[in-house]
Amino acid sequence: MPDEDFKRTDLTTIANGAIVEQFQEQLLRVMANVDDLNTEAKAARKITIEVDFMPDASRQSMQVKTHLKTKLASPKKSESLIFVVRDRTGEVFAVDNNVHQPELFKG
């Protein structure tokens, strides 16, 4: 059997190129995550390609399963300050402005 009769398997031929297609999709997710101002700029992002090879008993063929995992940067923590107040009926609720601070200058 001359080698030229067969196309050798590589990353682009396994599962009809599904790994490459899935990688491109995950790369777009990584790029969108990098561009998101709500994430840490320097946080590492990762794409992991797992390929499992399960040979049959004859060792003449293998089932191949692939899986891509993507780790993105988490959103940044955000902080805020809210103030607890009561309405005239005594019901507690929150407001964004400090109503406990008297206004210094009324204009």
Residue pLDDT, tens place only, 77-90: 888 888 898 889 99
The verdict on pTM exceeding 0.85 is no
Residue pLDDT, tens place only, 35-71: 999 999 999 999 999 999 999 999 999 999 999 999 9
Give the strand pairing for 83-86 and 46-55: unpaired
Alpha helices in 1-107 (DSSP H): 18-35
What confidence tier does 1 reach under pLDDT thresholds 50, 70, 90? Answer: low
Sequence spans of domains, the chain: 3-74
- Phi/psi-derived region of residue 91, left when phi > 0, alpha when psi is between -120 and 50, beta in every other case: beta
